[in-house]
Amino acid sequence: MGALSSLTPTSSWFRLDDASAVGSVRRFAVELANAVDLGERHTADVAIIATELASNLVKHAEDGTLLVRPIRHDDNVGIEIISIDSAPGMADLTAMYEDGRSTTGTLGIGLGAVARLAHRSDGFSVPGRGSVLTAQLWRDAQPPPAWADGLTRPLTGETVSGDSFAVRTVGGRRQVMVCDGLGHGPLAAAASHAALNIFHTAPEGPPAMMVERLHRGMSHTRGAALTVAEIDPDAGVVRTCGMGNVAATVITGDLRRGTVSMPGIAGHGRAVIREFEYPFGAESLLVMHSDGVSDKWSLHASPGLETKSPLLIAATVLREAGVRRDDACVLAARIRP
């Protein structure tokens, strides 16, 4: 899998409070598709998908938000649209992707169009709690499903987030990072940008070595809390190394175990860097998040979520536990996509 990271300045969140926001979403999605050279046909499809998902939020949802962002896999680029709402939810989400199905007496063709036009679409919904819907369009053939993915959301009123996530596979090592730049706004975002650059360009090495590089390389920034994790399927373990209050939780069945992170700020002061190891099997799930997400979330509130894609898991945790008074980031990872 190629490098995957957040904090792209061309990503944008939209609140879908009224119908006027639908046009803004469509225009931004088209501009972004043109910027990444998605091609005329795919750009037209992106416009339809953005319009349908945004309209669906306006018509049917409560507290609807939508993220439009560029995505990359090696040399391939695409656009991803993520729709999140808090109610009413749907008992049979699969049926709603069929043309002619509706919960309000309308034609119900919107989600069917999304499923037909997108290279990959997915969703998760719980009645009474809300839904998360995702759609991807790629310039070239779609890549394999992701084994790890995440999303970030800035503090209300800010246009950039000081939180970030990154995913890489180097030398057979599957590694992920969540970084929380101190504070919020442009300076926090600059610290996270520095962490992303180091993470993606560092040579192969275990999490402790990566955190050591991050600590040395971020001294020119205001610093950050961060955790790096490495999933080792052959050994059946996940190795983690953290500084500060970025949380990492290993979930296997009904067992939920938080990992250890050492005190400190990456980039400043003396660092005690220690790596820890935890059992991690084929059914295990790793969820990491910044302190803009409460640790009170639980997968038990969303039956079946643990079997869904890492992105749907991360987006649902963000919806359930994200706070508006801080930047927020959630990442989910497992052995299998």
- Extents of the domains making up the chain: 8-138, 148-333
Find out if CATH 3.20.20.70 is the number for domain 148-333.
no
Q: Edge-to-edge, what's the strand order for the sheet holding 328-333?
A: 148-153, 328-333, 285-289, 247-252, 255-258
Cα 144 to Cα 239: distance, rounded to the nearest angstrom: 24
**Residue 87: per-residue pLDDT:** 78
pLDDT in tens, 231-276: 999 999 999 999 999 999 999 999 999 999 999 999 999 989 999 9
Query: pTM (2 decimals)?
Result: 0.92
Q: How large is the angle between the packed helices 40-60 and 110-117, nearest 10 degrees?
A: 150
Cα 255 to Cα 235: distance, rounded to the nearest angstrom: 19
**Residue 175: per-residue pLDDT:** 98
Cα 130 to Cα 320: distance, rounded to the nearest angstrom: 10
The amino acid at residue 173 is: R
The residues with which 280 forms a beta bridge, in sequence order, are none
**Residue 95: per-residue pLDDT:** 58
**Residue 60: per-residue pLDDT:** 85
pLDDT in tens, 118-153: 999 999 999 888 999 999 999 999 999 999 999 999
> Smallest Cα–Cα separation from 163: which of 139, 129, 189?
189
**Residue 68: per-residue pLDDT:** 97
**Residue 6: per-residue pLDDT:** 58
Q: Give yes or no for a contact between 129 and 315, defined as CB atoms under 8 angstroms apart.
A: no
3-state DSSP call for residue 65? strand
**Residue 2: per-residue pLDDT:** 46
b/e burial code for range 159-178 (CB count within 10 A of at least 16 → b): ebbbbbbbbbeeeebbbbbb
> Smallest Cα–Cα separation from 120: which of 330, 311, 276?
311
Q: Give yes or no for a contact between 263 and 225, defined as CB atoms under 8 angstroms apart.
A: no
CATH classification number, 8-138, choose in 3.50.50.60, 3.30.450.20, 3.40.640.10, 3.30.565.10: 3.30.565.10
On the question of a cis peptide bond just before residue 88, with omega within 30 degrees of 0, the verdict is yes
b/e burial code for range 216-244 (CB count within 10 A of at least 16 → b): ebbeebbbbbbbbbbbbbeeebbbbbbbb
Q: pLDDT tens digits, the chain, 337 residues: what are they?
A: 445 555 555 899 999 999 999 999 999 999 999 999 999 999 999 999 999 999 999 988 888 999 999 999 989 999 999 999 987 777 666 655 555 454 443 334 468 889 999 999 999 999 888 999 999 999 999 999 999 999 999 998 888 999 999 999 998 899 999 999 999 999 999 999 999 999 999 999 999 999 999 999 999 999 999 999 999 999 999 999 999 999 999 999 999 999 999 999 999 999 899 999 999 999 999 999 999 999 999 999 899 999 999 999 999 999 999 987 899 999 999 998 8
The number of angstroms, rounded, from the C-alpha of 287 to the middle of its chain's C-alpha atoms is: 11
Q: Give yes or no for a contact between 151 and 330, defined as CB atoms under 8 angstroms apart.
A: yes
**Residue 246: per-residue pLDDT:** 97
The number of angstroms, rounded, from the C-alpha of 293 to the middle of its chain's C-alpha atoms is: 13
